[in-house]
Structure 1
Amino acid sequence: MTLKLTGAGLSPYVRKVRTILAEKGLAYEHEPMMPFGVSDDYKRKHPLGKIPLIEDGDRVIPDSSAAAVYLERIQPSPALFPEDPYLHARAVWLEEFGDSAVTSIGGAYFQENVLARAFFKREPDAARLEKVTTEEIPRAFDYLEQTLEDADYLVGGRFTIADIACVSPLANFAYGGGAIDAKRWPRLVAYVERVQGRPSMKALIEEDRRALSAMGG
């Protein structure tokens, strides 16, 4: 049975799951639902009313991290979670770092500079952007720059779930006008270009840009 993914394509969490699906060559049906005013039926499947949601027949998997684990189990190759216990734990940690710290940055820039006027009918929250720019960005980007060292990827020198989770929200950061300072974080800039240049994520970013262009963003 074909997998079904529910969630707006511009969401970093939905992009994360779609990248996993593409990397693993899994076919799926995509319902691009916005995470606002969700139906009672959807809330029965995902009590938090958030996106994404994966359905595999009568199996329902809320949350991008739970979906990542499920997809890894049903299609182990190519592996996105290392077998080595320590590297596996590192990948899980950096997935969480991407889902929390990096998504906070990408979400703020995208919500305030793109969605505020278009969807929320309000002015951007300048105080929020200032805090993210002066506090959150240096902390997160310094950590990623340090973690990369001279490697192409974050964990074990190969592409893993950590890279997907940390780079997906940086697309939203860019859509909201954010740019990584190449002088301060040169490894991070090259790394993001490398990951976003993979066919699995590149196609989704191109799709995003078409959607943003259509909505005047």
Structure 2
Amino acid sequence: MIRVYGATLSPFVRKVVVALAEKGLDYELVPVSLQSRNPDFLSISPFGKMPAFRDGDFALSDSSAIIHYLDAKYPERRLIPQTPEDLGRAVWFDEFGDTIVALSGGKVFFNRVVAPRFLKQAGSEETVQQGIAELPRLFDYLEGVVPEPGGFLVGGALSLADIAVASPFVNLSHCAVDVDCAKHPRLGAWLPTILSRPSFAGPIAAEKAMLAA
């Protein structure tokens, strides 16, 4: 049995469950919080970072490492391109989504959602505005590289690149920070084609319901 430890409000946990859904693999999502003391979770992810992952006797943390493992272990529906050029581009977009988009978006999401709702702490609106100020440069870059709606970032098929770039935008949307389609029409058209896929739509709907409760 595959187990994923975390919450899909994390863009990194969301990455993994979307990859599992795209591969048609069954899994159990084991909820853990930022302050979880779940011993199995901490034995896999000793620094308490989501997600942690277990597939039988094999355990791993870090969303990118997990998806690389999944693609090697279950290659029937590949999410990582095989040509050197496309592989390099997919790794770049994965890094861009994880360390650039998620970092700026995280300043908004943490201070508007995580801190007040889950940690019972006041968020920093100054940090929120800092994150928002960083977004136009990222949107400008993506506007120049995303394909037409219905297309994919690398190799003509959905890949880790699309999943990693799109996932942090869900967190921004939860904070009512969305792409202005007048300023970034290609990005504003491409994102819904990725996020409306069943693999994304299911977790997003559950997240919205939880946040609205």
TM-score, reference length from structure 2:
0.93
Deviation digits for residues 131-180 of structure 1 (CA, Å, limit 9, x no counterpart): 1122x202211111111154722113321101101111111101012111
Partner residue in 1 for 2:141:
143
Deviations 1:64-86 (A, max 9, x none): 01100111011112111111101
Deviation at 1:38, TM superposition (A): 3.0
Q: Give how far 1:33 is off.
A: 0.8
- Contact 2:147–2:190 (8 Å) recurs in 1: no
The answer as to whether partners of 2:5 and 2:53 remain within 8 angstroms in 1 is: yes
1:51 aligns with 2:50: yes
Query: Residue 42 of structure 1 corresponds to which residue in structure 2?
Result: 41
Could you tell me how far apart the structure 2 residues matched to 1:144 and 1:61 are? 31
Q: Distance in 2 between matches of 1:108 and 1:140?
A: 14
Unaligned runs of 5+ in 1: none
Name the SS of the counterpart of 1:55 in structure 2.
strand
**CA 1:41 to 1:204, structure 2 compared with 1: closer, same or farther past 3 Å?**
closer
TM-score by length of 1: 0.92
Q: Secondary structure at the match of 2:181?
A: coil
Asked if the contact 2:105–2:132 (Cα under 8 Å) also holds between the matched residues in 1, the reply is no
Listed as ranges, the gaps of 5+ residues in structure 2 are none
Residue 83 (structure 1) aligns with: 82
The residue matched to 1:183 in structure 2 has which SS? coil
Q: CA RMSD in A?
A: 1.6
Give aligned-pair identity as a percent: 39
Q: In the alignment, what sits opposite 1:97?
A: 96
Partners of 2:140 and 2:18 in 1: how far apart? 25
Runs (4+) off by over 6 Å: none
